[in-house]
Amino acid sequence: MRPWADLHVPVLAAEVISYLQPVSGGLYVDGTLGLGGHTEGILKAAAPDGRVIGFEWDEQAAGLAAERLATFGRRLTIIRTSYADLAAALPKAGIETVDGLLLDLGVSSLQLDRGERGFSFQADAPLDMRMDVRQPVTAAQLIRRLSKEQLADIFYNYGEERQARRIAAHIVKAREERAVETTRQLAEIVAAAVPRKFHPRKRHMATRVFQALRIAVNRELDNLVRVLADAPSVLRPGARMCVITFHSLEDRIVKQAFAANPAYAVVTRHPVEPLPDEVKANPRSRSAKLRVAVRTERDGNEGLSPAGSG
Ligand SMILES: C[S@@+](CC[C@H](N)C(=O)[O-])C[C@H]1O[C@@H](n2cnc3c(N)ncnc32)[C@H](O)[C@@H]1O
C-alpha cells in the first residue's frame, strides 16, 4: 500500500465529517478529490452504501485516488473535469441533486512536491503550474505574453504583493534579454527586483508571485465564484456545503457568497480553523479556514436586484 499521508494529509478531516454529516444512503460531491483523503472519510462515515462523486481535473491525482479508494467499488465515481462545471456535469451523469458538497481548495502536496509540475521554486523546472495539463495556458506563457501592467495586476490582486509593480517591471526587462522559462529563473528575477531590506523574513520573496501566477493559470477565483453561484441548483434543501480555503482572497469570496445568496444559510459564523496540534503535525494546514452553509428552500436569485448586483 502507498503511504498516502506522505503524498497529502487532508486538513480539518474530522471537522469536515462533523459539519458535512454524511449518512448511509447519502450522495455527496467532493469537488476537489485530490488524493482522496476527505472522500475516504466521507465513504467510511456513510457506510455501507453512501456514495461520493469526486471531481478532479489533475490526471495524476485522480489516478492515485482511484487506486487508494478501489475497495469502495461503485460507491465512488470520479469525474475528470473542473468542479466549476458541476451543474452541467452532474445531470450528464444522471444526478439531479446531492446531499452535500465539499471543496478543499488549492494545490495538493503531491502537486507542490513534484518539482516537474512547476508550482514551486524549491526545484528547478519549466514554469507550468497547470493543475490540469489539458488547460491551454502555462505560467511561462503568461510571463511571456502579458504586459507589465497585467503582470503587476496579477501579482497585486492574486498575491497581495505590495512590490507588484517593481517585480513586473523587472520581469519585463529580464524577458527582453532572455526568455523566462523556469521556476528558478523567475524566483531569482523576483528576488533581485526587490531590495533586500524589503524581503520577508520567514518566506522567500517569490512566494506570493508564485501563488498569484498559479491562481491566474488555473483561474482559481473564477472557478470558485462559479461553483458558489451554481451549487444551489444541485444541492437538495438541507444539504450542506463545506469549503476549505487557504488564503484571504478565497475566504472572502466564500464568506460573501454565503452571506449574499438566500439559497445559503450560514452554519459557521466564524470560520473553523485547525487546532494547534494539527498545525504542528501538518504545517500546510496553518492557513486553512472552513466555512459551512446549508441549502435553504429559497431560490438563489431571490432578493437580488434585476442587474444581479444587490
Ligand atoms: C487541496 S487538494 C485536495 C486534497 C483532498 N481533499 C485530499 O484529501 O486528498 C486540491 C485538489 O483539487 C484539485 N482542483 C483544484 N481546482 C480544481 C477544479 N477547478 N476542478 C477539479 N479539481 C480541482 C487539485 O488538482 C488538487 O488535487
Per-residue b or e along 103-127, where b marks 16 or more CB atoms closer than 10 Å to that residue's CB? bbbbbbbbbbbbeebbbbbebebeb
Q: Which residue has the cell 506570493?
A: 208
- Looking at the predicted structure, is the pLDDT value of residue 1 above 70? no
As separate numbers, helices (DSSP H) first and strands (DSSP E) second, the chain gives 14, 7
pLDDT in tens, 6-19: 788 999 999 999 99
Closest-CA residue, ligand 1 atom 20, reads 82
Q: How confident is the model at residue 303 (pLDDT cuts 50, 70, 90)?
A: very low
36 lines ligand 1 (CB under 6 A): yes
- What DSSP string runs through 215-229? HHHHTHHHHHHHHHH
- Looking at the predicted structure, is the pLDDT value of residue 276 above 90? yes
**Ligand 1 probe mutation, 9, 101, 131, most atoms within 8 A of CB:** 131
Is residue 48 reached through a cis peptide bond, with omega within 30 degrees of 0 on the bond before it?
yes
For the chain, how many residues are written? 310
Closest-CA residue, ligand 1 atom 13, reads 32
Higher per-residue confidence, 132 vs 110: 132
Question: Domains in the chain, please, with CATH?
Answer: 4-110+220-295 (3.40.50.150), 117-218 (1.10.150.170)
Cα separation, 195 vs 246, in Å, equals: 28
**Ligand 1 probe mutation, 15, 32, 284, most atoms within 8 A of CB:** 32
The contacts found for 298-305 with CB under 8 angstroms, 24 or more apart, are 298/262, 298/263, 299/262, 299/263, 300/229, 300/232, 300/233, 300/261, 300/262, 300/263, 302/262, 302/263, 303/262, 304/260
68 lines ligand 1 (CB under 6 A): no
CA distances from 286 to 78, 97, 245 (A): 29, 33, 11
Q: How confident is the model at residue 301 (pLDDT cuts 50, 70, 90)?
A: low
Cα separation, 159 vs 76, in Å, equals: 35
DSSP class of residue 181 equals: -
**pTM above threshold 0.75:** yes
285 lines ligand 1 (CB under 6 A): no
34 lines ligand 1 (CB under 6 A): yes
54 lines ligand 1 (CB under 6 A): no
163 lines ligand 1 (CB under 6 A): no
Average pLDDT over residues 257-264: 98
pLDDT in tens, 162-182: 999 999 999 999 999 999 999
pLDDT in tens, 86-115: 999 999 999 999 999 999 998 988 888 888
Arithmetic mean of pLDDT over the chain: 94
Per-residue b or e along 185-197, where b marks 16 or more CB atoms closer than 10 Å to that residue's CB? bbbbbbbebbeee
Do 119 and 197 contact (CB within 8 A), yes or no? no
Q: Which residue has the cell 502507498?
A: 2
What is residue 36's predicted lDDT score, i.e. its pLDDT? Answer: 97
- Looking at the predicted structure, is the pLDDT value of residue 308 above 90? no
